[in-house]
Amino acid sequence: MKKLILISALLFSFNGWAQVSDEIHQRCKDAADYVGCIQVFTGSIPTKKANDSEADLKKALKLLPRRLENTSLRDFSSAIQPFTDALALAETDDAIGDSQLVRDSRKIDYALSVARSAWDASIEASVEMSSSSPMFTTLARTNSCSVLNREVGAFNASLGGHAMNYPCSSEKGNLLTIKRNENAMISIIRQAALDTANGKALNYSQFISVEEHYEREKIRDDEWKKQNKERKQANKKKPKIKRRDATKKMKRLYEIGSSALIQQSKYRNEMKELCDELTNASIKFAFHALDLSSTSDKLSGHMEYLYKYNCSFYLIGVFMIEEDYEKAKEQIEILLLTDLDGKDAEYWNKLTLSNEMTFINTVNESKKQLEELLIEISINNEEAIQKRMATMFPQTL
């Protein structure tokens, strides 16, 4: 009875099978899968939907970040296997083989290969460093600045842009300090996978080769030396502040600025006074008396930049609360124009904040938000201003 129902369904529901020949019927009547048998002999096997491979690839991309989250180098291949399989199938699908989805997925696939190679090299360097007598030839092959920068160069090239900052500002570096590129690489890949799955094209800033990076860093370093010379002249006229005291003042600024205390006028006035002291003084280090002037000057420059950036950021919140938009705009413009100048990229790339973002990335993200806030203030869009404040300064509400 069940087979008769299936035959009836075939005869009356599918135009292509309305004329099933007696010969085919006789061949299939005793088959366990009568419908499948008819499909085979009539050449009417339904093909996989054109968008199945697309859906499978998107699903694999969405799962990739989680699969990479807690994997090890040993399990790396199995962790990414569902993605590589889905990509291989999608590449053979004429409907999407040359789509943005597949092109960006290929970039991610290449980037995964580079990250795996970098991971392997950093483990080898770590093992070598743990030995009683590490071989410098091995460390030079796995942990030198030249090698580390080339890894990042290959990673950026695979993604078609400047997705990751170079870890070293020159080929010179300390072989005994293990630097690991794979963690940042995997973090970038995880975000790229989600963006690609959600239809967002991978669009990084223009690719910078290792050679171009070295040239830029030399220009930045020369500019830093020039600015440092000018700063030293200016600092002679500035009051001195010990680093220890400056750190205490900055800690106090953070305590007020990141809490509800900023809502009270007396604490906002205290913040203004702290910033006035910090941005109008030169930092004095304890080892100035030693012959470490160049190192001391560089550290002093780093600290002065950090204080200048943090003060401008917190003062924006202060003036926004007080609805003194003109002063807020002044601080926004100061922060937007305050760049890392010629200071070495290696220092800022290594400076990681509590949210695991590098200081450079945090500055760049803040600047994007502040550019939008500046526009909103200029056109007096109060609703947009309040939303922006809720995002950037939730403690002020």
In this predicted structure, what is the pLDDT of residue 59? 94
Phi, psi of 69 (to 5 degrees): -60, -50
pLDDT score for 335: 80
Q: Are 135 and 170 in contact (CB under 8 A)?
A: no
Q: Which two tokens stand for residue 83?
A: 């993605």
Residue 164 sits at the vertex; the CA angle it makes with 163 and 165, to the nearest 5 degrees, is: 135
183 and 236 fall within a common domain: no
Task: Say whether both 313 and 257 belong to one domain.
Answer: yes
What integer is the mean pLDDT of 11-25?
Answer: 55
User: Sign (positive/negative) of CA torsion 351, 363, 308, 255?
Assistant: negative
Q: Quick one: 250 and 311 in the same domain?
A: yes
More confident residue, 172 or 380: 380
pLDDT at residue 176, as a whole number:
63
Query: Do residues 159 and 269 both lie within one domain?
Result: no
pLDDT reading at 67 higher than 50: yes
pLDDT for the residue 342:
43
**Res 367: pLDDT:** 82
Which of 73-87, 172-186, 289-303 shows the lowest mean pLDDT across its residues? Answer: 289-303
Q: How confident is the model at residue 175 (pLDDT cuts 50, 70, 90)?
A: low
Last residue of a domain, one of 139, 173, 197: 197
CA 163 to CA 153: how far, in whole Å? Answer: 10
Residue 47 maps to a domain: no
Domain count for the chain, please give it: 3
- Is 242 inside any structural domain? yes
Same domain, 24 and 84: no
**Inter-CA distances, 174 with 145, 171, 259, 285, 346, Å:** 8, 10, 40, 24, 12
Band of pLDDT at residue 243, cut at 50, 70 and 90: confident
pLDDT of the residue at 269: 92
Same structural domain for residues 153 and 7? no
- Same-domain status, 56 and 193: yes
Q: 202 lies in a domain?
A: no
Range(s) of the domain holding residue 307? 210-396
pLDDT in tens, 340-379: 544 455 565 566 655 556 677 777 778 888 888 888 888 8
- Could you tell me the two tokens for 394? 């939730």
Give which of 145, 141, 202 is closest to 169, Cα–Cα: 145
In a domain, 298, yes or no: yes
Distance between CA atoms of 337 and 397, rounded to whole angstroms?
Answer: 27
User: For residue 156, is it within any domain?
Assistant: yes
Q: Which of 134, 169, 197 is a domain's end point?
A: 197
Within a domain: residue 331?
A: yes
In the chain, the percentage of residues whose pLDDT exceeds 70 is: 75
174 and 295 belong to one structural domain: no
Same domain, yes or no: 247 and 381:
yes
**Contact in structure between 40 and 34 (CB atoms under 8 Å):** no
How many percent of the chain have pLDDT more than 90?
26
**Tens of pLDDT along 308-320?**
888 888 899 999 9
* CA–CA distance, 79 with 56 (Å, rounded to integer): 16
Binned at pLDDT 50, 70 and 90, residue 222 comes out as confident
Q: How confident is the model at residue 242 (pLDDT cuts 50, 70, 90)?
A: confident
Q: Give the pLDDT score at 270.
A: 92
Contacts 24+ apart (CB under 8 A), 214-218: 214/169, 214/170, 214/171, 217/169, 217/170, 217/344, 217/345, 218/170
Q: 66 and 178: one domain?
A: yes
Rounded to an integer, the average pLDDT of 173-177 is: 64
Of 328, 281, 283, 276, nearest to 301 (Cα)? 283
Select from 172, 197, 222 the last residue of a domain: 197
- Considering 26-35, 148-157, 308-317, the range whose residues carry the highest mean pLDDT is 148-157
Is 82 part of any domain?
yes
How many angstroms from the chain centroid is the CA of residue 171?
Answer: 24
Separation between Cα atoms, residue 287 and residue 272, nearest integer Å: 30
Whether 276 and 350 map to the same domain: the answer is: yes
> What's the rounded mean pLDDT across residues 51-65?
91
Question: Is the model's pLDDT at 294 over the cut of 50?
Answer: no
Average pLDDT, the chain: 79
Tens of pLDDT, residues 70-125: 889 899 999 999 999 999 999 998 888 899 999 999 999 999 999 999 999 988 88
Tell me the C-alpha to C-alpha distance, in Å, between residue 194 and each of 70, 115, 137, 162: 17, 17, 39, 18
Asked if residue 368 and residue 342 are part of one domain, the reply reads yes
Mean pLDDT score, 290-309 = 62
pLDDT tier for residue 9 given thresholds of 50, 70 and 90: very low
pLDDT at residue 213 is higher than 80 = yes
Say whether pLDDT at 17 is over 80: no
Q: Is residue 390 part of a domain?
A: yes
